[in-house]
Amino acid sequence: MHREFRKLLEQATGVSGFIIAVNIDVRGFSPFSMKVDSSETAIFIKSIYRKLIDGYFSDASFFKPAGDGLLIMLPYTEENLKEKASKSIATCLSVLKDFHSFCANEPMVNFEVPEAVGIGLSRGAACRLVSGDKTLDYSGRVLNLASRLMDLARPCGVVFDSGFGIQLLPKVLRNKFSRTKVYIRGIAEKEPVEILYTKEHTRISPMSKKPYEKIKWKTVTDARTLREIKTSLPRRIYSLPSEPLDSEQLIVRIEYPAVYKGARKKGLVVIARFNKFEYYMEAGEPTVSVSYEALAKKLEKEGVKDSWEVKIEIMYPEQ
């Protein structure tokens, strides 16, 4: 496929047109893919791709896999804008409602799978890269905006910007959405833009309502040898000095010496996120519990020696 793509590029040209960009992301895909075999991940992805393409977006002009989701292009004209806008929103709401049962009748899926999606929509002009009668790709602000809006749809839901045109939708659809203003990285960093989101499913992060330059990040740092981590209790409790602005943005990062062929690479370190942690309030105090048991297993797998020091950082936006 990649070689055919390369050949088609020789005669490729750009064509402008109007599209509705729909960005669908499977929530919880990363931890899911870490728990199951890669072949099971492939079965799941294939199943949901087929369901989305055949059952919900059969009229789309282009699909683009995103690993843990799907980018979908729906062309429209001045004459059919209202119809296409209403249909796209209604379809996305159906996907949101039905996604938990997408794999219910798939005999190959006999394992737990993610059950929620976040969806972002935007519409406008985009550049279509075409070669003959084949569409190779799309590009443009409308795609970037749909991606950013998808990221706001947490823990799940549907989000679109006010430029999409809420007035194009019938009242029964309009009533499912609430309005707010947000800042969007790379698109609306100085002045907020209005968005609409599913009021029953979506919680817009407080971080999105503050200019990026005003968000302050706090870091709690700890350093221990692998031996200390292995001989500690299975979980290490960290009390945070302040409450996060948005606990969903809290991350745990680890830093450890790089290993090559069993030996430590002098001057090189590996910095990676570590997802085996929990955030909660304990007696009114913000608290993070890090799985030292899982951390020790990961570090041993990477070839880290007992005497080597490992840095653990808990990072979060302050209120």
Residue type at position 295: L
Nearest to 24 by CA among 107, 87, 88, 83: 88
Direct distance between the N- and C-terminal alpha carbons of the chain, in angstroms, rounded to an integer? 49
25, 70 contact by CB (below 8 A): no
CA distances from 34 to 38, 41, 65, 275 (A): 9, 9, 19, 10
- What is the model's pLDDT at position 5? 86
| pTM strictly above 0.85 | no
Q: What 8-state DSSP symbol labels residue 114? A: -
Residue type at position 84: K
For the chain, list residues with pLDDT below 50: none
- What is the model's pLDDT at position 212? 84
- Which domains occur in the chain, in start order? 2-213 (3.30.70.1230), 217-317 (no CATH)
244, 295 contact by CB (below 8 A): no
41, 32 contact by CB (below 8 A): yes
Nearest to 120 by CA among 91, 151, 165: 151
- What is the model's pLDDT at position 3? 86
Q: In this prediction, what percent of the chain has a pLDDT beyond 90?
A: 85
CA distances from 41 to 52, 109, 127, 278, 298 (A): 17, 10, 32, 25, 21
CA distance 20 to 91: 13
- What is the model's pLDDT at position 315? 97
